[in-house]
Amino acid sequence: MPSHPLSDGIAFVRGDYVPIAEAAIPITDWGFLRSDATYDVVTVWEGAFFRLDEHLERFMHSCERFRLDPGLTPAQIEGVLAECVRRSGLRSSYVEMIVTRGQPPWGSRDPRQAVNRFYAFAVPFVWIANEAQRERGLHVKVSAVQRIPASSVDPRAKNYHWNDLTMGLLVALDDGADTVVLSDAQGNVVEGPGFNIFCIKDGALVTPREGVLEGISRRTVIEIAASLGLPVALRALPAEELRGADEAFLTSSGGGVLPVTRVDDRVVGTGRPGPVTQRLLATYWDWHRDPAYSRAIDYGQS
């Protein structure tokens, strides 16, 4: 069967739908010049959005927190996202919505004078860990780089202030790890580039409460754990506690539940993805087929 002609992706730029390779923003947009933007990512799996309402709610909260106006209602944004997916023909997709500050008049440093811009795109589903890594479990390095404190940039509002994450990731990759998790000023792990972290000890889950994006996949795992009768504690997670866990995993829209089998130079548990992690992982994908969490896309004649 021939591939869809737009299967590389579709973007919504200034009111038009264009092939992803043609999507661009002005170089003078503060979203580019200053990372002055917010965004959110929702996934499409087997032709349906997963937890779209929750992603839209968080996106609108992020816009409000950073004083950005998408110029569209949540229902209108949903329509744009669905149209990007429909036109691309993608049944499994990574769908992003963005609002940039735009550009104020030349010479002005007043962000209130900028006209905010809304963008969106749909591309093939993104895995933040490849198949081999998911099979054996990830090697995570705890970075000496401190995460930007919440008093400076609110991590609950999704943002592109990633220099701390990028610098930590570069060191981790240079050291042979697969990815990195950053810590706060007290030495507690918080989050990594695009994911939350959990550890399991004696059947109980722990995930950081403060200094993190409240991920939708994180929320989903917390709800799954409750449905399975597994206790979950949201609290500070010292790095040494993570290293000594029975099991550990990451949560991200880019893969759901991703096992961790090594932290720094310590093997986690048996060195293989553990039984609780695998149960959570299986249930996570099962929930994608539950109408309570999924919303089918009408592909029409795409």
Paired tokens of 130: 């490849």
What mean pLDDT do residues 244-260 have? 97
Query: Tens of pLDDT along 85-105?
Result: 999 999 999 999 999 999 999
- pLDDT at residue 301 in the model: 64
Taking the C-alpha atoms of residue 170 and residue 190, their distance in angstroms, rounded to an integer, is 18
The model's confidence at residue 5, banded by pLDDT at 50, 70 and 90, is: confident
- pLDDT at residue 231 in the model: 97
pLDDT at 43 over 60: yes
- pLDDT at residue 145 in the model: 94
Angle at 284 between CA 279 and CA 287, to 5 degrees: 125
Coil vs helix vs strand at 189: strand
* Residues 228-242: b if buried by 16+ CB within 10 A, e if exposed: eebebeeebbebeeb
Domains in the chain with CATH codes? 10-124 (3.30.470.10), 131-287 (3.20.10.10)
Query: Tens of pLDDT along 141-193?
Result: 999 999 999 999 999 999 999 999 999 999 999 999 999 999 999 999 999 99
Paired tokens of 72: 């569209």
What is the rounded radius of gyration, in angstroms, for the C-alpha atoms of the chain?
Answer: 20
Distances (CA, A) of 23 to 48, 95, 167, 254: 24, 14, 27, 22
What mean pLDDT do residues 272-301 have? 95
Pairing of strands 179-183, 138-146: parallel
Cα atoms in the Cβ-side hemisphere of radius 13 Å centred on 74: 13
- pLDDT at residue 4 in the model: 75
Structural contact between residues 232 and 224, judged by C-beta atoms closer than 8 angstroms: no
Q: At what angle do helices 52-65 and 74-88 cross, to 10 degrees?
A: 120
pLDDT at 13 over 60: yes
Q: What is the DSSP code (8-state) at residue 255?
A: T
Paired tokens of 141: 């390095």
Structural contact between residues 289 and 282, judged by C-beta atoms closer than 8 angstroms: no
Query: Tens of pLDDT along 104-133?
Result: 999 999 999 999 999 999 999 999 999 999
pLDDT at 224 over 80: yes
Q: What are phi and psi of 128, to 5 degrees?
A: -85, 0
What mean pLDDT do residues 211-222 have? 97
- pLDDT at residue 27 in the model: 96
Taking the C-alpha atoms of residue 221 and residue 65, their distance in angstroms, rounded to an integer, is 25
Q: Where are the alpha helices (DSSP H) in the chain?
A: 30-33, 52-65, 74-88, 131-136, 163-174, 216-227, 239-243, 275-287
- pLDDT at residue 1 in the model: 38
Paired tokens of 245: 């866990």
- pLDDT at residue 56 in the model: 98
Paired tokens of 271: 């060195």
pLDDT at 302 over 60: no
- pLDDT at residue 205 in the model: 98
pLDDT at 2 over 60: no
Among the listed residues 275, 209, 274, 256, the one whose alpha carbon sits nearest the alpha carbon of residue 236: 209
The model's confidence at residue 275, banded by pLDDT at 50, 70 and 90, is: very high
| CB neighbour class for 171 (10 Å; exposed up to 12, middle 13-18, buried from 19) | middle
Structural contact between residues 110 and 104, judged by C-beta atoms closer than 8 angstroms: yes
Paired tokens of 43: 């996934």
Q: What is the DSSP code (8-state) at residue 155?
A: T
Taking the C-alpha atoms of residue 13 and residue 17, their distance in angstroms, rounded to an integer, is 6
